[in-house]
A and B are shown apart, each in its own frame.
Chain A
């Protein structure tokens, strides 16, 4: 299997008021093309930091990150920004839509930045919003739509440039159970059409949507679970919970 993302010996140490705090202490990871990987672990285990380093939002203290076979951990901030436009899509727990832009503007923005013409960006946005069932909110600002709708908009924005990898940080952490189900369904749907996804969560039921679950503890990968294709969500979740404990 071709690897889209590979990390070797990834470390991240924060300086908190002069005190070094290690968030990652040497993570070796390989994500295959089209794979759906969940990263699980308790709060403060370093899973969000790992996601940020994978997407170039932060720089590692040690180690390497390879994206599509290219070493990217030493790229400049600007080079990372350009790379993210086409290669990386992000979805966050708090949606992180731009508050004063409409839904349509939010979704079109990465396309326009990647060099699409306004017409192309508009067409792609229509297609995605229709796919996600939220075309009717295109003219609204984010604060006027529900959390589930906001997360679908965020998903549309992340997918607009067909990224090599979709990085999702607790994407259902702020949603009710109905919206959680919908968003997970959408993620699975995109995964089935070949989208590589790395999902960070502390919720075993959410993690169980993935093909593989990576367990983290104290900045290290403690366990990996391959999930079978034949899924009984409740059974998988209880298995994952047991692993966490």
Chain B
């Protein structure tokens, strides 16, 4: 029996080579997408864990500033410590690059990478030990546009030391950039209080890191200690948007794959009803028919899934490299047993399911009924759309096309559903673009209500003020900001506090509840803080900040995408000057009269300061994030659209195959080949247009939902629907898409010879 089934299945596949080839192409493409999506999801999942694993990350980082006389080496013997690396020297210096300058701590290391917090070199090489080489951290290199081979200048006490970037490396935590000990010595003694010694610690139980850190802090208030949770927060903050977008894109891809396979296979079975009738006439039972079709499609699916998975794995570096680049992780290998198994078995399971159901239903049809129909069940009522097409007095060939598109309601519904899903992904991509565009235009939505953020480094405050004044009316207002961590008495949470000075009220943060702060004693906070502490706008917020206690009134909630919204912003006059001195360095938030001038003003300030300022244009970082995501987003999009195209093509071809006789009759009653062509294209177009509309209707809430998932606190305020003309453009896009998909089926239909078709009884 098995032998008979196998022979019949192979014969069936051979008897319809084009249809078999097309379904094989769909399954291959779907399996390739599935393999890509699985790899993408694996690659985008928890980037911190990946980087930490790659770099043998420390659980705790301890930094003892120069002159603090802390015995770091003794910590190696503290209870709970499994391993340490260091202590190593850290020297603070100002590095200049292409006219801008930045204060960075340099970590002195040997020609071997450190054992713990072992940076993973992503481009270039590790230090050779020679003087004058530097390996930069990936994030700072990316933010400053520095690449391997660039020359930097380290300035310390007026002495300049040239540094060549020999590598870019990824690590977590406060480590890097890395230089050799001889380079650090050549750069000279550290300026201000950035110098000191650092130690990386791994604990037996990293869950005990909090208690370990508290213990160190209690014993010595001079050291700066951070643990893996801070590092994870840092990585998550940097990558949260990317992770969710990548996760959503891959989820879309998985759904689309399921739908597309279901559509292609179900269509194939429905188109074989006549054969099913004949098989039953020859003695096949309904179970035998089901087994035959499952076997037939499984042979096809397994072959196609293996080829598709191989293609997906071969293509994965293209997509995964940019993902890894975005997240700072190693490019995940596509060749994982899990990917291969999931790809092949997943496709096989979907194929079995969507073969068995329609085959079983078709197998239960009466023999004569199946033979007489010889096609999928035909709807006995013209669709509303067909009636509308008639009422609109469209040419008869177009009306016929519209009616044909809905001749089998179930197939039409499945085709629309799978195309709508593809279109929903287009809406998702357009929504992401629109949201980025809005945030770039209004950076307050990123808690950056200014165009330029200036870190003055070694520029004095009066000089800084003079530089700003020198820009005249181009600068509409200047606020100052200094940040530090703060705690809330009675709570274990750490929050990030920012003290504002200057004309901060001129350009308010994006307030969603309450109002912007107007003076000392008031604070605006992120939603994360309100939720964590169970507070509301109007409540009091007690804080321990800069070593002093303050009690602020929460007057508003603002959009804060970073730090999970665990933030508080207040007037600097709310804390004593001594406490403010313990905050991080003061930065200047410049609000420009014309925000399109940010790069011009940045250059002018750099020129005027002799390159001594570190200036960040807020829109640049957002653009960078968007540009990083685009290849992945559009790569997935292109794959899904290509599958959608083949899917529509197959649907139309299957429709034509089972309706050869009808096309013959069309010609008998006087349809010219061109009219047959128009009729098929019209049918495809109607399906695609409905799918576009459904895709928009479904895609918009999905997009909003995913943005809320990315950023539960502020997502609803940030998610921006695509502009209407982009949405409108999807219609001509769909027409082009349909025309492409219809070319082959329409030509086949137009080429049908009526005399031959009518012999097809």
Closest to A99 in B: B378
Residues of the A chain whose Cβ atoms lie less than 8 Å from the Cβ of B673: 77-78, 81
From B541-549, B663-671, B738-746, the one touching the partner chain is B663-671
Interface flag for B256 (CB, 8 Å): no
Residues of the A chain whose Cβ atoms lie less than 8 Å from the Cβ of B128: none
When the two chains form their complex, are residues B669 and A109 in contact, meaning their CB atoms are under 8 A apart?
yes
When the two chains form their complex, are residues B662 and A81 in contact, meaning their CB atoms are under 8 A apart?
no
Residues of the B chain whose Cβ atoms lie less than 8 Å from the Cβ of A157: 669
When the two chains form their complex, are residues B755 and A118 in contact, meaning their CB atoms are under 8 A apart?
no
Interface flag for A82 (CB, 8 Å): yes
Q: Mark A81-121, 1 if CB is under 8 A from B, else 0.
A: 11011000010101011111110010001101110001000
When the two chains form their complex, are residues B407 and A100 in contact, meaning their CB atoms are under 8 A apart?
yes
When the two chains form their complex, are residues B669 and A110 in contact, meaning their CB atoms are under 8 A apart?
yes
Interface flag for A131 (CB, 8 Å): no
Q: Mark A51-94, 1 if CB is under 8 A from B, else 0.
A: 01001011000000000000000000110011011000010101
Given contacts A78-B672, A78-B673, A82-B670, contact A141 B378 (CB under 8 A): yes
Interface flag for B576 (CB, 8 Å): no
Given contacts A52-B755, A99-B662, contact A144 B380 (CB under 8 A): yes
Residues of the B chain whose Cβ atoms lie less than 8 Å from the Cβ of A90: 668-669
A113 to B667, CA, bound (A): 11
Q: Mark A133-173, 1 if CB is under 8 A from B, else 0.
A: 00000000101100000000000010000000000000000
A194 → chain B, closest Cβ, in Å? 22
When the two chains form their complex, are residues B378 and A143 in contact, meaning their CB atoms are under 8 A apart?
yes
Residues of the B chain whose Cβ atoms lie less than 8 Å from the Cβ of A101: 382, 400, 403
Interface flag for B379 (CB, 8 Å): yes
When the two chains form their complex, are residues B672 and A82 in contact, meaning their CB atoms are under 8 A apart?
yes
A99 to B537, CA, bound (A): 67
Q: Which of A58, A96, A99, A144 contacts B753 (CB 8 A)?
A: A58
When the two chains form their complex, are residues A102 and B661 in contact, meaning their CB atoms are under 8 A apart?
no
Residues of the A chain whose Cβ atoms lie less than 8 Å from the Cβ of B407: 99-100
Residues of the A chain whose Cβ atoms lie less than 8 Å from the Cβ of B400: 101, 109
Residues of the B chain whose Cβ atoms lie less than 8 Å from the Cβ of A92: 758
When the two chains form their complex, are residues B380 and A118 in contact, meaning their CB atoms are under 8 A apart?
no
Q: Which of B375, B670, B758 contacts A84 (CB 8 A)?
A: B670
When the two chains form their complex, are residues A114 and B670 in contact, meaning their CB atoms are under 8 A apart?
yes
Q: Mark B372-409, 1 if CB is under 8 A from A, else 0.
A: 00010011101000000010010011001001100100
Residues of A177-218 whose CB lies within 8 A of B: none
A81 to B670, CA, bound (A): 4
Interface flag for B761 (CB, 8 Å): yes
When the two chains form their complex, are residues A100 and B396 in contact, meaning their CB atoms are under 8 A apart?
no
Interface flag for B674 (CB, 8 Å): yes
Residues of the B chain whose Cβ atoms lie less than 8 Å from the Cβ of A82: 670, 672
Interface flag for B754 (CB, 8 Å): yes
Residues of the A chain whose Cβ atoms lie less than 8 Å from the Cβ of B666: 98
When the two chains form their complex, are residues A84 and B378 in contact, meaning their CB atoms are under 8 A apart?
no
Residues of the A chain whose Cβ atoms lie less than 8 Å from the Cβ of B674: 78
Residues of the A chain whose Cβ atoms lie less than 8 Å from the Cβ of B403: 100-101, 105
When the two chains form their complex, are residues A81 and B396 in contact, meaning their CB atoms are under 8 A apart?
no
Residues of the B chain whose Cβ atoms lie less than 8 Å from the Cβ of A97: 665
Q: Mark B650-680, 1 if CB is under 8 A from A, else 0.
A: 0000000000011011111111111100000
When the two chains form their complex, are residues A98 and B396 in contact, meaning their CB atoms are under 8 A apart?
no
Closest to B754 in A: A57
Q: Which of A84, A100, A105, A144 contacts B668 (CB 8 A)?
A: A84
Closest to A92 in B: B758
A102 to B383, CA, bound (A): 12
A90 → chain B, closest Cβ, in Å? 5
Residues of the A chain whose Cβ atoms lie less than 8 Å from the Cβ of B670: 81-82, 84-85, 110, 113-114
A44 to B393, CA, bound (A): 44
Given contacts A78-B672, A81-B667, A109-B396, contact A96 B661 (CB under 8 A): yes
Q: Which of B378, B667, B753 contacts A100 (CB 8 A)?
A: B378
A166 → chain B, closest Cβ, in Å? 13
A48 to B287, CA, bound (A): 41
When the two chains form their complex, are residues A77 and B758 in contact, meaning their CB atoms are under 8 A apart?
no
A129 to B183, CA, bound (A): 101
Given contacts A102-B382, A113-B396, contact A81 B755 (CB under 8 A): no
When the two chains form their complex, are residues B758 and A57 in contact, meaning their CB atoms are under 8 A apart?
yes
Q: Mark B726-761, 1 if CB is under 8 A from A, else 0.
A: 000000000000000000000000000111001001
A71 to B758, CA, bound (A): 25
When the two chains form their complex, are residues B671 and A118 in contact, meaning their CB atoms are under 8 A apart?
no
Residues of the B chain whose Cβ atoms lie less than 8 Å from the Cβ of A84: 668-670
Q: Which of A77, A78, A96, A113 contacts B665 (CB 8 A)?
A: A96
A80 → chain B, closest Cβ, in Å? 9
A157 to B666, CA, bound (A): 12
Residues of the A chain whose Cβ atoms lie less than 8 Å from the Cβ of B669: 84-85, 90, 109-110, 113, 157
B693 → chain A, closest Cβ, in Å? 23
When the two chains form their complex, are residues B662 and A98 in contact, meaning their CB atoms are under 8 A apart?
yes
Residues of the A chain whose Cβ atoms lie less than 8 Å from the Cβ of B665: 96-98
Given contacts A57-B758, A92-B758, contact A100 B671 (CB under 8 A): no
A85 to B668, CA, bound (A): 8
Residues of the A chain whose Cβ atoms lie less than 8 Å from the Cβ of B396: 109, 112-113
A213 to B407, CA, bound (A): 41
Residues of the B chain whose Cβ atoms lie less than 8 Å from the Cβ of A114: 670
Given contacts A84-B668, A109-B396, contact A100 B761 (CB under 8 A): no
A55 to B667, CA, bound (A): 11
A13 → chain B, closest Cβ, in Å? 14
A16 to B754, CA, bound (A): 18
Residues of the A chain whose Cβ atoms lie less than 8 Å from the Cβ of B671: 81, 113
A186 → chain B, closest Cβ, in Å? 19
Residues of the A chain whose Cβ atoms lie less than 8 Å from the Cβ of B378: 99-100, 141, 143
A237 → chain B, closest Cβ, in Å? 27
Closest to A116 in B: B396
B497 → chain A, closest Cβ, in Å? 70
Closest to B407 in A: A100
Residues of A27-61 whose CB lies within 8 A of B: 49, 52, 55, 57-58
Q: Mark B339-383, 1 if CB is under 8 A from A, else 0.
A: 000000000000000000000000000000000000100111010
When the two chains form their complex, are residues A118 and B393 in contact, meaning their CB atoms are under 8 A apart?
yes
B127 → chain A, closest Cβ, in Å? 75
When the two chains form their complex, are residues A94 and B761 in contact, meaning their CB atoms are under 8 A apart?
yes
A125 → chain B, closest Cβ, in Å? 13
Residues of the A chain whose Cβ atoms lie less than 8 Å from the Cβ of B380: 141, 143-144
Residues of the A chain whose Cβ atoms lie less than 8 Å from the Cβ of B379: 100
Closest to B379 in A: A100
Given contacts A81-B671, A96-B665, contact A118 B758 (CB under 8 A): no
A82 to B753, CA, bound (A): 16
A114 to B670, CA, bound (A): 8
Given contacts A77-B672, A78-B673, contact A100 B754 (CB under 8 A): no
A82 to B665, CA, bound (A): 14
A105 to B668, CA, bound (A): 15
By CB atoms of chain B within 10 A, which of A78, A97, A98 has the most?
A: A98
A22 to B574, CA, bound (A): 105
B467 → chain A, closest Cβ, in Å? 77
When the two chains form their complex, are residues B672 and A100 in contact, meaning their CB atoms are under 8 A apart?
no
Residues of the A chain whose Cβ atoms lie less than 8 Å from the Cβ of B672: 77-78, 81-82
Residues of the B chain whose Cβ atoms lie less than 8 Å from the Cβ of A141: 378, 380
Residues of B132-186 whose CB lies within 8 A of A: none
B positions within 8 Å CB-CB of A = 375, 378-380, 382, 390, 393, 396-397, 400, 403-404, 407, 661-662, 664-675, 753-755, 758, 761
13 A-B pairs in the complex with CB atoms less than 8 angstroms apart: A81-B667, A81-B671, A84-B669, A85-B669, A94-B761, A96-B668, A99-B378, A99-B407, A99-B662, A101-B403, A105-B382, A114-B670, A143-B378
- Which 8 pairs across A and B sit closest by C-beta, in order of nearness? A85-B670, A58-B755, A78-B672, A100-B407, A57-B755, A112-B396, A81-B672, A52-B755
Kindly list 13 other residue pairs between chains A and B, CB separation below 8 angstroms, not including A90-B669, A96-B661, A100-B378. Answer: A77-B667, A81-B670, A96-B668, A99-B407, A100-B382, A101-B382, A101-B400, A109-B669, A113-B396, A113-B670, A141-B378, A143-B380, A157-B669
